[in-house]
Amino acid sequence: MAYVKVAWLGRGAIHTNAAPQRCKRRLITLVLAGLLAGCAVGPDFRRPAAPETENYTATPITAQTESAPTQLGQAQEVMVGLPTDVQWWHSLRSPALDSLIAQAFEANPTLASASATLRQAQETYAAKAGATEYAQINAGFGAQRQRFNPDAVGLAGGAREFNLYDASVSVHYNLDLAGANRRALEALAARADYRRFELEAARLTLAGNIVNTAIAQARLAAQLEATGAILRAQEEQLGVARERLRLGQAAPDEVQALVAQVEQTRAELPALRKQLQQSKHLLAVLAGRAPGASAGPSFTLTDFTLPAKLPLVVPSELVRRRPDIQAAEALLHAANAEYGVAVAKLYPQITLSGSLGSQALTAGALFGSGSAVWSLIGQLTQPLFNPGLPAEKRAALAAFDAAAANYQGVVLEALRNIADTLRAIENDARGLAALAAADTAARQSLQSVERQYQLGTVGYTEVLIALQQAQRSRIAVTAAQAQRLVDSSSLYQAIGGAS
């Protein structure tokens, strides 16, 4: 709020005869200038300081992960400041995935809703700006039939009836001395920013969901194939055991144990098919299609490439690029401005209005000479006793405190998100290396047993058991391969997508 200090010439001062008049005019000018130039009350918004920490975890993160001698097992390097493509999912090198995400951005209803909500917020701001930043000018025309009875006011004469026509142009303007309107506009602009960041977050989340669901579909397809191979081997082993039982070379308990094993594996297949089918349904809906509209793409792990280099940003940059943090900051900005609105209500409000028009008893004389009428109105309102206004101010301050706490929580959650993802990238790479070594050993064992079977030193049952072990090892490796892809996708999402 601007204050004007005015010096007045008192008695005994040396001045000319015209000095008092000039001083009065200056006083009026200064007061009016001070009123018209009043700034908005309440604190101006300042962006929250960036986190002081420079690290995401208490112990250093290994810059390069461990490699494994298998598909999707190459080492990855995490680099601070590495530029990121806006379409970060291109780093997975899957044209089918790129096409599906592009389609989703055009047809996904969640994105369409977020986009419409943003337009609503922008138009709400435009409406408020048009209603408060400029004078309101209205034109009016009216006609009425009146009956006047002089006896009612103690005058002589009979009752008379006449028509009255009027046309006018009126102007209304709020000086907004304390800046309530400006703070309200500031709050609406901040809420429009919030909706914009919400839309960016929705895009980032949608892309991440499609990527992760496509990877899950590829993993489930591989696991379903390996489980089917295990079941076929177990059924063949059961057939051998039943033949041995018929020949008296096996006990019934051995056959029953194999029957239980076969049925347990068989029960795994419907669960895997259900998950695979549900992933296809989810991909269709994310892309804005009905699940039964079309089959859609089918993904395998060979469709993806593991990014060799992954980007990372320092915490001070993270808070300026993650859309959820920026959205929380926009809400904090809005709360700050709304507190200013509550404070401004405690200050004087001045409204100016005026009208120019004409009135006549006939429509033809409406614009003739002598029919002109005009009015000028200035209104000053100063709250003297309104207990609700201080309470409203305290409520707005409490809302600001809540928004500040919410912002802090969002920042901390984002830091935890990146810390978890970095540790996942590091440990899942090691896990895949161990599982790849176990898978190599299982395949080598299967080859050894097959050679021994060809030489007649072991029976066919041993071959089937080794085959099952190799397939189960393959299932574990498949899950670890898919997890490495998910970890890479999660890091892109955690840092806020593109730079």
* 499: confidence class by pLDDT, cuts 50, 70, 90: low
Q: Which residues contact 458 (CB under 8 A, 6 or more apart)?
A: 449, 452
Kindly report the average pLDDT of the chain as a whole number.
Answer: 88
pLDDT confidence of residue 126: 95
Query: Does residue 39 carry a pLDDT above 70?
Result: no
Which distant-in-sequence residues (6+ apart) come within 8 Å of 23 by Cβ?
8, 9
How remote is the C-alpha of 300 from its chain's centroid? 30
- State mean pLDDT over 305-326: 94
As to burial, measured by CB atoms within 10 angstroms (0-12 exposed, 13-18 middle, 19+ buried), residue 240 is middle
| 197 close to 326: Cβ distance less than 8 angstroms | yes
Residue 4 — φ and ψ, nearest 5°? -115, 125
pLDDT band at 53 (very low <50, low <70, confident <90, very high): confident
What backbone phi and psi angles, to 5 degrees, belong to 133? -80, -20
* Predicted pLDDT of residue 481: 97
Per-residue pLDDT, 9 = 29
Long-range contacts of 187-191 (CB under 8 A, 24+ apart): 187/333, 187/334, 187/335, 187/337, 187/338, 187/341, 188/121, 188/124, 188/125, 188/128, 188/334, 189/125, 190/45, 190/330, 190/331, 190/333, 190/334, 190/337, 191/121, 191/125, 191/330, 191/331, 191/334
* Separation of alpha carbons 484 and 421, rounded Å: 11
* pLDDT attached to residue 28: 43
pLDDT in tens, 293-313: 877 899 999 999 999 999 999
Does pLDDT of 11 surpass 70? Answer: no
What number is the average pLDDT over the span 343-348? 90
86/384 Cα distance (integer angstroms): 56
The residues near 78 (Cβ < 8 Å, ≥ 6 apart) are 61, 63, 64, 65, 309, 310, 312, 422, 425, 491
Rounded CA-CA distance 263/253 in Å is 15
Euclidean distance between CA atoms 68 and 478, whole angstroms: 13
H or E element that contains 124:
helix 109-132
Q: What is the pLDDT of residues 364-415, one digit of tens each?
A: 777 777 788 888 888 888 888 888 999 999 999 999 999 999 999 999 999 9
Cα(346)–Cα(393) distance, integer angstroms: 9
pLDDT at site 153: 66
Q: Given a cut of 90, is residue 190 above it in pLDDT?
A: yes
Segment 100-127 shows an average pLDDT of 96
Residue 99 is inside which H or E element, if any? helix 95-107
Q: At residue 155, does pLDDT exceed 90?
A: no
Give the confidence band of 483 by pLDDT, cuts at 50, 70, 90: very high
Give me the mean pLDDT over the 347-355 stretch. 89
pLDDT at 27 over 70: no
pLDDT of residue 467: 95
Lookup result for tokens 């060799």: 308
Q: Is the pLDDT of residue 36 over 60?
A: no
Residue 30 has pLDDT above 60, yes or no: no
Condensed to tens digits (0 to 9), the pLDDT of residues 229-287 reads: 999 999 999 999 999 888 888 899 989 999 999 999 999 999 999 999 999 999 999 99
Placement of tokens 């996904």 in the chain: 108
Q: Among positive and negative, which fits the CA dihedral 217, 218, 221, 226?
A: negative
Q: Which pLDDT score is estimated for 498?
A: 66
Residue 167, φ and ψ in degrees, nearest 5: -140, 140
CA distance 282 to 289: 10
Ranges of beta strands (E only) in 89-196 are: 136-148, 160-174
CB contact at 8 A, 214 and 466: no
Residues 6+ apart with CB under 8 A from 380: 348, 349, 350
| pLDDT value at residue 5 | 28
* Residue that has been written with the tokens 């592009």 in this structure: 102
Share of the chain above pLDDT 90, in %: 65
Sign, CA torsion 109/111/115/117: positive
- Give the pLDDT mean for 218-234: 96
CA 402 from chain centre, in angstroms, equals 19
